[in-house]
Amino acid sequence: MRIIDGDKKTTIPRDKYYAEAIRSIIKAFEQEKAENDNVPEQNDVKQLWPNLQDAHKKFLYIIARKSPNRISQPILEDKLEVDSNDLRGIHNGLARICKNHEVENPVRSIGYNRSNRQYYVDASAAKTIRSLWKREQQ
C-alpha cells in the first residue's frame, strides 16, 4: 500500500494490521462523502432564508459548518461574539420566525445549561444552509 501525503511518500506492507485500519478509514471517508453528496437540500430552509436577519444566518451557518457534529454553547457564543443572553435572543428569534412562517426550526439543542448545551442541524439542513451562505457571500 502506497500512501502519499503532500511530498512525503510511504509504502506499507499489505499484511500489516494497520494497513487494514487505513483501508477501513479510507472506506469510511469515501462512504461519508458519497452520503453527503446524496443528501437533498431542505426546501423549508430555502423558504426561511430570505426572512432571516444576518445574526440568524450566521448562527445557522456556524452550526451547519460543524455538521454532522454538534457545537457547544460556549464555542458558539465565542464564534458569534455574543454572550449567553444574546445567543438566547438569536435562537428565540429564529424560533419565532419559523413559527410565523409555519416552518420547522432546523436547529436542535441538547443539554440543560450553558456548560453542556450543544446545538446541531440535520444533514439536509446543513447542506442547504452552507449552500445559501456561500451563494450570499459571493
C-alpha cell at 113: 445549561
Residue 73 is predicted with a pLDDT of 94
Q: Report d(CA 54, CA 65) in Å as an integer.
A: 16
Question: What SS3 state is found at 71?
Answer: strand
Q: Strand 108-110 vs strand 71-72: parallel, antiparallel, or unpaired?
A: unpaired
pLDDT of residue 56: 96
pLDDT of res. 29: 74
Residue ranges covered by each domain of the chain:
2-37, 43-137
Walking along the chain (138 residues) 10 residues at a time, the average pLDDT comes out as 83 84 80 62 85 95 90 95 94 94 91 90 90 90
The whole-number pLDDT of residue 87 equals: 95
Q: By the 8 A CB rule, do 128 and 41 touch?
A: yes
**112 grid coordinates:** 440543560
Q: What is the pLDDT of residue 85?
A: 94
CA–CA gap between residue 137 and residue 36 (Å, rounded) = 22
pLDDT at 93: 95
Q: What pLDDT is attached to residue 12? A: 84
CATH class of 43-137: mainly alpha
pLDDT number for residue 37: 60
Q: Provide the pLDDT for residue 17.
A: 81
Tell me how far apart the alpha carbons of residues 76 and 86 are, in angstroms, rounded to a whole number.
11
> Within 13 A of 40's CA, how many CA atoms are on the CB side?
3
